[in-house]
């Protein structure tokens, strides 16, 4: 079984978006996917790309992907944030994820990153087991925080009124 890893092209975003939707189903949150293929083409391949994407192919069919981007730490400098690795369900356990993760590591080193970061859900034991094989540091000290677009707009409006 020949699997190749390569940098994604705009035409790959339909298949990549399909994998994202498959992941959302697995994580029991399909309604949370609001990103579109057009958004991904604009954001990944437009004038100022904000992410990088690798795809795994077998027999000219995309079976996995990894999306990552540059982050910056005041303490550590340039880092890479791996947003997701997704392998289609029928190909899990066949080293596709390892090939993708290893290539993200290679790309991170090429880009001069001092760290590689990612998150994993605490109930996703297969993923935790996978990352433990790499002797990854699992951090239980930090709490993830976020604001939605709706929240940011509301706060900006409130700040204008003050």
Q: How far apart are CA 21 and CA 114, in angstroms?
A: 31
Q: Which of 72, 81, 131, 134 is catalytic?
A: 131
Closest CA to 23 of 103, 119, 151: 119
**Residue 134 annotated in active site:** no
CB 76 within 8 A of CB 27: no
Say how far apart CA 22 and CA 5 lie, in whole Å: 20
Q: Cα–Cα distance between 135 and 144 in angstroms, integer? A: 22
List, by residue number, the catalytic residues: 131
């Amino acid at each position: 079984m020949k699997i190749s890893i390569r940098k994604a092209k705009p035409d790959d975003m339909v298949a990549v978006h399909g994998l994202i939707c498959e992941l959302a189903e697995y994580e029991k949150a399909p309604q949370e996917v609001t990103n579109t293929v057009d958004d991904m083409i604009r954001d990944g391949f437009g004038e100022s790309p904000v992410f990088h994407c690798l795809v795994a192919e077998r027999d000219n069919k995309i079976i996995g992907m990894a999306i990552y981007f540059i982050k910056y730490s005041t303490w550590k400098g340039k880092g890479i944030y791996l947003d997701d690795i997704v392998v289609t369900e029928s190909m899990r356990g066949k080293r596709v994820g390892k090939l993708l993760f290893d290539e993200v590591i290679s790309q991170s080193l090429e880009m001069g990153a001092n760290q590689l970061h990612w998150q994993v859900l605490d109930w996703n034991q297969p993923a935790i087991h996978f990352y433990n094989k790499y002797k990854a540091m699992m951090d239980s000290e930090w709490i993830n925080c976020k604001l939605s677009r709706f929240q940011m707009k509301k706060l900006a409006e409130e700040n204008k009124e003050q």
